[in-house]
Amino acid sequence: MGSKIGRNDPCWCGSGIKYKKCHEEFDEKIAYIKSQGHEVPDHSIIKTPEQIEKIKESAKINIAVLDYVAENIRAGMSTEEIDRLVSEKTAELGGIPAPLNYQGYPKSVCTSVNEVVCHGIPSSDVILKDGDIINVDCSTIYNGYFSDSSRMFCIGDVSAEKRKLVDTVKECVEIGLKMVKPWGFLGDMGQAVNEHAIKNGYSVVREIGGHGVGLEFHEDPWVSYVSKAGEEMLMVPGMIFTIEPMVNMGTAKVFCDKKDNWTIYTADRKPSAQWEIMVLVTEDGNEVLAY
């Protein structure tokens, strides 16, 4: 949990209050749960109230950018045009697109169409057609703080089969969100997500999951959606992470495009869908920061 703090020292959270009156009991509870063999967060994962407020400002931009995409996305446009929309709107609102140049990623947003699971690179060659489904994954830096969320869009007349997949994944996120509570475990959420996907005849991608976010683009913890209740990291107030299951119509197996080392496809080329929200664990439940 970090270096030893005296009971009368200022609390590590930056509140200015003495540790014994602020987070001492909180830390003792975490230490006890750790002693029972559970994975617990350290202080670097727990955001302070000041940090949370700044992360929320970033999240407001992320939501506005995705709203802008929703207003303009249509059949006949290229995914390159979506990238331009995201880049221009983010800049207009004072933000920076987090994906751009992240570990060499060449664009401002990820656009994953049909059988692309995630990390689809916008291109002038990829034209949205009637019947397509697409995930637009947007991430923003604002004053040094990060936010991240994604939405699915159905283009034109989408088949009932694809629409059910899109709707079911959104339900998975909503069901998982109900399991995000302080002093529960990430596995509580992961199991709920996985069970709902399987019940509807789908599979959940194992290798790629959610993540902490706020001070960096990707932080601990890594978040699985094929986990078990009572397992994975303890959830405590101040944690921020994404719920973003990638659910496939067919096999859960995926592969990465060797040409660009980014684009992830379903192994059987059947459709995949993903919704992503960014969640804060609060004292009495949770708060969705970006969607």
**pLDDT value for 14:** 87
CATH number at residue 141: 3.90.230.10
**pLDDT value for 97:** 98
**pLDDT value for 3:** 59
Residue 250 lies inside a defined structural domain of this protein: yes
Distance CA 264, CA 113 (A): 11
Query: What average pLDDT score do residues 102-130 get?
Result: 98
DSSP assignment, residue 110? E
**pLDDT value for 6:** 92
DSSP assignment, residue 104? G
Q: How far is CA 63 from CA 68, 69, 134, 290, in A?
A: 9, 10, 17, 6
Distance CA 278, CA 260 (A): 27
Q: Would the pLDDT of 237 be above 70? A: yes
> Predicted confidence band at 81 (pLDDT cuts at 50, 70, 90)?
very high
Residue 29 lies inside a defined structural domain of this protein: no
**pLDDT value for 5:** 87
Q: What are phi and psi of 118, to 5 degrees?
A: -165, 170
Distance CA 253, CA 270 (A): 11
Backbone CA torsion sign across 119, 123, 125, 126: positive
**pLDDT value for 4:** 78
Distance CA 26, CA 252 (A): 39
Query: What average pLDDT score do residues 47-69 get?
Result: 97
Find out whether 55 and 143 touch, Cβ atoms under 8 Å.
no
**pLDDT value for 119:** 98
Percent of the chain clearing pLDDT 70 (strictly above): 99
Residue 142 lies inside a defined structural domain of this protein: yes
Residue 30 lies inside a defined structural domain of this protein: no
- What does pTM read for this prediction? 0.95
Range of the domain at 111: 41-290
Residue 6 lies inside a defined structural domain of this protein: no
Residue 3 lies inside a defined structural domain of this protein: no
Average pLDDT of every residue of the chain: 97
User: Count of domains in the chain?
Assistant: 1
Q: What confidence tens digit (pLDDT) does each residue in 146-170 have?
A: 999 999 999 999 999 999 999 999 9
Q: What confidence tens digit (pLDDT) does each residue in 19-49 have?
A: 999 999 999 999 999 999 999 999 999 999 9
Residue 10 lies inside a defined structural domain of this protein: no
Distance CA 7, CA 28 (A): 12
Coil, helix or strand for 191? Answer: helix
**pLDDT value for 1:** 47
> Is beta strand 145-154 parallel, antiparallel or unpaired with respect to 277-281?
unpaired
* Beta strand spans in the chain (E): 96-97, 110-113, 116-118, 133-142, 145-154, 203-204, 210-212, 219-223, 240-243, 246-248, 254-256, 264-266, 272-274, 277-281, 286-290
Of 273, 158, 124, give the one whose Cα is nearest residue 205: 273
SS3 for 33-84 is HHHCCCCCCCHHHCCCHHHHHHHHHHHHHHHHHHHHHHHHCCCCCEHHHHHH
Residue 31 lies inside a defined structural domain of this protein: no
In one-letter notation, the amino acid at residue 179 is M
Query: What average pLDDT score do residues 97-111 get?
Result: 98
Query: What average pLDDT score do residues 215-232 get?
Result: 98
